[in-house]
Amino acid sequence: MNKPTPVVVLDASALLASAFGEPGADQVRAEISGALISTANWSEFVQKVLQNGINTQGMRAELEGAGLRIVPVTVQQAETAAGLWPTTRPLGLSLADRLCLALALAQPSRVFTTDRVWTQLPALPALEVVCIRPAQVLHQDTA
């Protein structure tokens, strides 16, 4: 039986790298069509863009037009994120980081981030973490 194709999930940091043309931007841009980002991570992205003085008018429509799917956080994902707290607390992962992971854990996924601290996460089932700085796969489920 074939494994399902993993869904691409973006952390806010990965989308920010794409928006600002930072290292790894091309890798993220290649995955935008069909990629998911949670509403919590979308909020973090918009906040950082606004902090940089950039007008966000039309930005959501442009990214959604390119195939990005902004999805609401579910109750199950909220509970999963809460359950990740003991494991991720020593690494300093934020609630938005944990919600990103929870979205990714809801189905076989590849999650893109710039946060190198994610390299210290224990392997999570059916989840591949890709740090775009440097471009490398951090964890990959081998089952």
CATH number at residue 117: 3.40.50.1010
20-48: average pLDDT: 96
Q: For residue 2, is it within any domain?
A: no
Question: What is the per-residue pLDDT for 57?
Answer: 94
Q: Is residue 90 part of a domain?
A: yes
Domain that holds residue 48: 7-139
Number of domains in the chain: 1
Residue 1 lies in a domain: no
What's the confidence (pLDDT) of residue 14? 97
Nearest to 92 by CA among 129, 127, 133, 120: 120
Q: Identify the pLDDT of residue 123.
A: 81
Residues 6+ apart with CB under 8 A from 93: 84, 101, 117, 118
Whether 106 has a pLDDT exceeding 80, the answer reads yes
Sole residue written with tokens 């039986």: 1
CA dihedral 52, 55, 61, 63 (to 10 degrees): -30
Instruction: Give phi and psi for 142, each to the nearest 5.
Output: -100, 5
Structure confidence at residue 1 as a pLDDT band (50, 70, 90)? low
